[in-house]
Amino acid sequence: CVGRNYAAHAAEMGVEVDREKPFYFTKSAQMLQPSGTSIPYPPGTSNFHFEMELVIAIGKPAFKVAVGNALDAVYGYACGLDMTRRDLQLAERAKQRPWDLGKDVEQSAVISSITKAAEFGAVGPQRITLSVNGETKQDAHLSDLIWKVEEIISHLSGFYHLAPGDLIYTGTPAGVGPVVAGDRIEGSIDGLDPISLEITAAE
């Protein structure tokens, strides 16, 4: 997952935009959930946030690839939700500690079905939106990404052997906020299958 990849979201989180280098955090593969699922409100938080994102699905091995060749590694794209225990994330950030308790939350990486890159077209003009109970919360365009898809892949491939099946969540636009049990989240990106999630009572 790419952190703070939309300027307006970085501002609402109280940090400056940095174009010098992107930064990342991880979610375990076990946290993946398909669109249309329901998940319980997670333990240990009172501030559970939604983040709507474009997801890159890697389809070919990529290692130390140039920006100009990076899109060759893309199989397709999907809508994604990066559900976050915001209070825990911010507490750990303040102490300069890893964000695992805030970000690597059970069932917190929701994804729609993947659309092939050739069908989706060039990333940029598409609108990305999210609503909670029918009320729009996030509304931006993929052209607002600070680090573009090819830049993200090129940079990450300098540190990892990217492989088919890898998923890269590319960051969220402004408008993130909390949800509670009973809420229904719906997100969309032009040209991709939409995504939905329902929050149920805590276990």
Domain ranges (residues) in the chain: 7-200
103, burial (CB in 10 Å: exposed 0-12, middle 13-18, buried 19+): buried
Q: Please state the three-class secondary structure of the chain as a single string.
A: CECCCEHHHHHHCCCCCCCCCCCECCCCHHHEEECCEEEECCCCCCCEEECEEEEEEECCCECCCCHHHHHHHEEEEEEEEECEEHHHHHHHHHCCCCCHHHHCCCCCEEECCCEEHHHHCCCCCCEEEEEECCEEEEEEEHHHECCCHHHHHHHHCCCCCECCCCEEECCCCCCCEECCCCCEEEEEECCCCCEEEEEECCC
Looking at per-residue pLDDT, the higher value among 94 and 170 belongs to 170
Residues 6+ apart with CB under 8 A from 47: 85, 86, 87, 178
C-alpha 134/C-alpha 22 separation (Å) is 33
Residues 6+ apart with CB under 8 A from 44: 85, 88, 101
For the CA atoms of 38, 39, 41, 42, what is the dihedral angle to 10 degrees?
-170
Looking at per-residue pLDDT, the higher value among 94 and 149 belongs to 149
Residues 6+ apart with CB under 8 A from 8: 140, 144, 173, 174
For residue range 99-132, list pLDDT tens digits in order. 999 999 999 999 999 999 999 999 999 999 999 9
pLDDT at 6: 86
Tell me what the mean pLDDT of segment 69-92 comes to.
97
Is the domain defined by 7-200 classed in CATH 3.40.190.10?
Answer: no
Q: Whole-number mean pLDDT of the chain?
A: 94
| pLDDT of 81 above 80 | yes
